[in-house]
Structure 1
Amino acid sequence: MQLSELKTLRKQLRQQRRAVTRTQQQQAQQAVLQSLIRFPKFQQAQKIGLYLHAFGEIYTKNIIEYCFAQGKQVYLPIICNMNQRLRWVGISQQQYRNRRFSHHPLGMQEPMSSRGLAVTHLDLVLMPLLACDIHGTRIGMGGGYYDRTLATAPRHPYRLGLAHDFQFIQANLPRESWDQPLDALLTPQRFLRFKR
């Protein structure tokens, strides 16, 4: 895939993701949660890194509430300005329900904290994405935050991408040396595991 093709694909997928209706999002979120509940890695995980949806990604509200109900610890990412990596902040159910978040200039919400844990403290990270291919190559929003963060944690935690079905690409996406592949991808209709 050429660079120009990748640019076009990114643009197309961003538009497609933004066009997903609220009802479609609710259905997708529920389907993903039902698969997640049966996934042994999720069942065993105690410390789970999640994201707050902001750009048409798979909604995470029900997943976060389910984690709290199961006594799992929920961690949300903040961008560390010093090294442009993600740090992970544990939040309580009360904090989540009261929406105690700050607005990041990039458009998403973050927990109000200047400190967080390294990604290696987590058992499982549920990651947003723009596209994922048959080898687990993940294309994100372009900031490289997840790639930089996971490059320092090659084996742990388990990396699970969450996506709409149209975000799974049946072709090879270009993978740069710094790109961090997924262990698995979960969509409303698919569960795919990759060799890393």
Structure 2
Amino acid sequence: MPNSLNTLRKTLRKQRRALNSFQQKQAEQSVFNRIIRQPEFQRAQKIGVYLHAFGEIHTGKIMEYCFVHGKAVYLPMICNMNQRLVWVQISNDQYRNKRFSHHPLGMKEPMAARGMHVSNLDLLLMPLLACDIHGTRIGMGGGYYDKTLASAYRKPFRLGLAHSFQLIRQPLAREPWDQPLDALLTPEMHILFKRKMG
């Protein structure tokens, strides 16, 4: 299985990077139109968001909407001591002026600040490479989200954002440490999963 998983990762990475800016804008708009109608999003006050860096669904519109509607936006920062993510609140001003630092892995992070534990968030928007129809999520391979969510059973609500081709119809192998999603949102659909609470 590891071999086919590596192949799947490689294929989806390539497919994601091949999207042009028009396709990305369309996908972002469709996902945005769907997410603002979701009760989990409407109720949430503290929202964890990712900064797109590798062809994921873009999150700019969602963040702008949150700032306008008084929702607190938090970005992940890798804690080098334990390889887990902590969540740092950012302001509209920080976002617009792109005041971020560059992580060696290629993504942008909030400037060094004290972050909070993921369980303090109401909603977590998660990037992914693939997700199956049972909510099994495959990330970029670093395991940061899995390690971080292992100690947060009930909160936050875990919502994966994905391009349509990232939804895999056949079940993906789920390892004991894999942290499943509560729901998936693509430009075409919204799928709710039944996650077993620990």
TM range (shorter): over 0.9
Cα deviation, 1:66-102, whole Å, max 9, x if unaligned, reads 1111110000000000110000000000010010000
1:20 aligned residue: 19
What is the rounded CA distance, in whole Å, between the counterparts of 2:113 and 2:59 in structure 1? 23
1: CA distance, partners of 2:154 / 2:178:
14
Alignment RMSD: 0.6
Measured in 2, the distance between the counterparts of 1:20 and 1:164 equals 10
SS at match of 1:58: coil
2: distance between equivalents of 1:62 and 1:156?
24
Structure 1 gaps, min length 5: none
TM-score by length of 2: 0.97
Asked whether 1:89 is paired with 2:84, we answer no
Partner of 1:40: 39
CA distance in structure 2 between the partners assigned to 1:10 and 1:113 by the alignment: 30
Is 1:178 aligned with 2:177? yes
Which sits farther off after the overlay, 77-86 or 114-123? 114-123
Give the deviation of 1:113 after TM superposition.
Answer: 1.8
Give the counterpart letter for 1:155 in structure 2.
Answer: R
1:4 offset after TM fit, Å? 1.4
Partner of 2:166: 167
Runs (4+) of structure 1 moved beyond 6 Å? none
Per-residue deviation, residues 32-86 of structure 1 (Å, max 9, x unmatched): 0100011000000000000000000000011110111111000000000011000
CA–CA distance in structure 1, aligned partners of residues 183 and 146 of structure 2: 16
TM-score (norm 1): 0.98
1:1-196 alignment to 2 at 5 Å? 2-196=1-195
- Between the aligned residues of both structures, percent identity stands at 69
Instruction: Compare 114-123 and 72-81 and name the one that shifted more.
Output: 114-123
Say which SS state the counterpart of residue 51 (structure 1) adopts. coil
- Cα separation, 2, equivalents of 1:68 and 1:115: 21
| Alpha-carbon distance between aligned partners in 1 of 2:151 and 2:2, rounded to the nearest angstrom | 27
Q: Distance in 1 between matches of 2:119 and 2:74?
A: 12
Letter in 2 for 1:84: Q
Cα displacement (A) at 1:114 = 3.6
Q: Is the 8 A contact 2:88 2:113 kept in 1?
A: no
**Structure 2 runs not aligned, ≥5 long:** none
